Amino acid sequence: MKIAVLGTGVVGQVVAEKLAELGHEVTIGTRNVNNVLAVKGPDRFGRASFSDWFKDHPKVKLATFAEAAQTGELIVNATNGMASLSALELAGADNMKDKILLDISNPLDFSKGMPPTLSVCNTDSLGEQIQRTYPHTKVVKSLNTLNAYVQVNPAIVPGDHTIFISGNDANAKSKVRSLLNSFGWKNDNILDLGDITTSRGVEQLSPLWVRLLGVFQSGNFNIHVVKAK
Ligand SMILES: NC(=O)c1ccc[n+]([C@@H]2O[C@H](COP(=O)([O-])OP(=O)(O)OC[C@H]3O[C@@H](n4cnc5c(N)ncnc54)[C@H](OP(=O)(O)O)[C@@H]3O)[C@@H](O)[C@H]2O)c1
């Protein structure tokens, strides 16, 4: 399948790499191709720059948000949550019309330092804002409760653990479920929370995730939801 991954950060890179490994035709989207390739040296976490990563992944294409979204049959939103609405505006409503948008973003606001706050919560969520802004796009929220490496390789965390899925369109959720299966997620561990308003709950897990990162000093963990029989 042709997949557009909007976002050049760690999530965009890791998800694009996995999708390409699985045989999908992947285009990463960015605001400005020349600008993102011009950034050299390690990022603030000591990871290789996007341009170095891109050189090592010749199967992945790079384009503007709009060009990537236009080519993608399915679109992944892996842009900064504070800027996702701007990034999607650049991607263009027409280029996303009638397509599935797998939304991995979290509306984390780091502007006042650590710990971050949520820029939208309680009575709304970024997933809902995106769905409201693009009513002809089928928004499915998932994977946002995990670090990028666990998202595409659940076996990093031993045993059973839970991935959530939210969205209004049953068929779109079913397609995203298949994609999650191809990443290694077992159906029993995929918990469908319901419509897109359930994005509120999973986005509000991100402040907990940040605190757990502080405890474990590693992002390789997850939550397992267990229901009494
Ligand atoms: N890091 C994780 O492990 C993790 C886990 C779960 C969920 N998430 C969520 O996944 C998303 C991506 O996270 P990340 O750490 O990979 O990357 P990030 O640094 O949060 O976002 C990078 C992307 O956001 C775009 N962007 C930044 N400011 C923009 C603006 N003003 N207008 C338009 N686009 C803008 C960048 O565009 P350019 O390419 O043009 O620079 C880039 O493509 C976030 O929403 C994050 O909360 C992250």
**pTM of the predicted model over 0.85:** yes
- CB-ligand 1 contact for 70 (6 Å cutoff): no
- CB-ligand 1 contact for 220 (6 Å cutoff): no
Q: Which two tokens stand for residue 218?
A: 């590693």
Please tell me the distance from the alpha carbon of residue 162 to that of residue 83, in angstroms, as a whole number: 27
Beta bridge partners of 226: none
Going by CA atoms, what residue is nearest to atom 6 of ligand 1?
Answer: 144
Going by CA atoms, what residue is nearest to atom 25 of ligand 1?
Answer: 79
CA of 226 to the centre of ligand 1 (A): 31
Please tell me the distance from the alpha carbon of residue 222 to that of residue 225, in angstroms, as a whole number: 10
CA of 157 to the centre of ligand 1 (A): 24
What string of pLDDT tens digits covers the 229 residues of the chain?
999 999 999 999 999 999 999 999 999 999 999 999 999 988 878 889 999 999 999 999 999 999 999 999 999 999 999 999 999 999 999 999 999 999 999 999 999 999 999 999 999 999 999 999 999 999 999 999 999 999 999 999 999 999 999 999 999 999 999 999 999 999 999 999 999 999 999 999 999 999 999 999 999 999 999 999 9
Query: Among the atoms of ligand 1, which is closest to the Cα of residue 7?
Result: 43
Going by CA atoms, what residue is nearest to atom 43 of ligand 1?
Answer: 7
Going by CA atoms, what residue is nearest to atom 39 of ligand 1?
Answer: 30
Q: Which two tokens stand for residue 64?
A: 């503007």
- CB-ligand 1 contact for 163 (6 Å cutoff): no
Q: Report the Cα 169 to chain-centroid distance in Å.
A: 18
Nearest Cα to Cα of residue 37 among 52, 27, 48: 52
CA of 229 to the centre of ligand 1 (A): 39
